[in-house]
Amino acid sequence: MAVDWVRRAREAVAGKYGPILPHVEAVVAHAGDLATHYPQADREVVVVAAWLHDLARVEGEADGHATRGAELAREFLAAAGYPPARANLVAWAILHHTDPVYGPERGELPLEARILYDADKMDRVRGYYLAELLVTVGTRVAGEGGHWLAHLPSARELYVGLFESLYTERAREAVQADYEACLDFLDRVTLATGRREGR
């Protein structure tokens, strides 16, 4: 009987993700949807990668967790006897799930890696990232005695950049309405602030 690798991956991470489990489950769901939409992608690779992609974050590695996560996935999959070519693709996807690739190499990134990146970012585009930016900027600026409103344009730029970093049309379509609502919110705040300060 064929090995159910998705189940093996899910079981391997059971109990490990703690508070980030809802994020990982959402990424698995988004990755599955995207793989359905792009049948040329290796669905098993995509979903296995989604289950394993944030293992290094559990180890407390916020920075560089993609590199370490790719190593952990490689170790687990090698020990479990997963076919090496597919294990490579899983590791490759995890390695590229945090930072988008630009330039000539962008077009060369395997579809499975694009899907994992997009799946990881979809909920961030839906508003999480914007809220995080505002809180982070507000906290930092308050410590420096400045005013966070002055940083709205750069927060907007970062937020737009995140949306534009998405690789697949399907992911963009899925988050479009929330993205536009968030931009509208930012623009209303900026407009209201301009009026207030113009008085």
Which residues are at the interface with Fe ion (CB under 5 A)?
Answer: 54, 120
State the nearest-atom distance from the C-beta of 7 to Fe ion, in Å: 20
Cβ distance to Fe ion smaller for residue 67 or 193? 67
Contact assessment for residue 155 and residue 130, using Cβ atoms and an 8 Å cutoff: yes
Residues 99 and 20: their CA atoms lie apart, in Å, by: 19
What burial class does residue 191 get, using C-beta atoms within 10 Å of its C-beta: 0-12 exposed, 13-18 middle, 19+ buried? exposed
Task: Specify the residue, 112 or 120, whose C-beta has the smaller distance to Fe ion.
Answer: 120
**C-beta of 104: minimal distance to Fe ion in Å?**
26
Contact 139, 151 (CB under 8 A): no
Taking the complex as a whole, the smallest distance from the CB of residue 196 to Fe ion amounts, in Å, to 38
CB of 71 to Fe ion, least distance (A): 16
How many other C-beta atoms can be found within 10 angstroms of the C-beta atom of residue 38? 17
In angstroms, the CA 187 to CA 19 distance is 32
Q: Which is nearer to Fe ion, 27 or 186 (CB)?
A: 27
Instruction: Report the residue number, 141 or 158, with the smaller CB distance to Fe ion.
Output: 158
Q: Are 73 and 49 in contact (CB under 8 A)?
A: yes
